[in-house]
Amino acid sequence: MGHMTERITSLATINDTLAQVGDPAVPVEDRAAMYGLLYAVKRRIDRALGTYQRKGPSAKSELAAHLATVEGEELGPLYLGWESFDVSWPCNDEGNWEDADVQEAMYTYSRVTPEFFRDIPPHFEVNTAALGEAVHMGDPAAIQLHRELKDRGWRQEGGKRAVLKVREVRA
């Protein structure tokens, strides 16, 4: 039990430090010192996990591969997520700028969700960055639009790969 208490206390200390880094009431010199320490810890974690390693297996990729073999694809706070790679948006290709069917459909979509389209006379394009961000944030309209564009073949992907995700641990 003592070991678990130490771990919770350590996590509480980290949470306190994270809160203080963004607190304008804390003197900027103290915030700078805390930021520097947290950043150094983050770099060490990234190195240990091989987060930015370009070649060969890393601790992070090995954990993801292991989770792919575990029923439910989770272990403690770790779980597998899936991300697309080699994504393209054929609807934004120059060949579709004058395609009346594509442009009419984009015009219609842009009336409902204008934040996800760019009107570049004489054509419309999907604002892929805005749409992607909104999907990531869980916006229901963005998720539905994303699904519809994918069903039309306007968003294509080379495939999906497993990525390691972590559920937030609360103190």
Indicate the range of 10-19, 31-40, 133-142, 147-156 predicted with least confidence.
Answer: 10-19
User: If 0-12 CB within 10 Å is exposed, 13-18 middle and 19+ buried, where does residue 25 land?
Assistant: exposed
**Residue 171 included in any domain:** no
Task: Assess whether 35 and 67 both reside in one domain.
Answer: yes
| Number of domains making up the chain | 2
Indicate the range of 53-57, 63-67, 86-90 predicted with least confidence.
Answer: 53-57
Please tell me whether residue 84 adopts helix, strand or coil conformation: strand
Residue 168 per-residue DSSP state: P
**Residue 165 included in any domain:** no
Torsion of CA 116, 143, 93, 115, to 10 degrees: 0
Residue scoring higher pLDDT (146 or 47) = 146
**Residue 110 included in any domain:** yes
The pTM of the full predicted model, rounded to 2 decimals, is: 0.62
Binning pLDDT at 50, 70 and 90, where does residue 166 land? Answer: confident
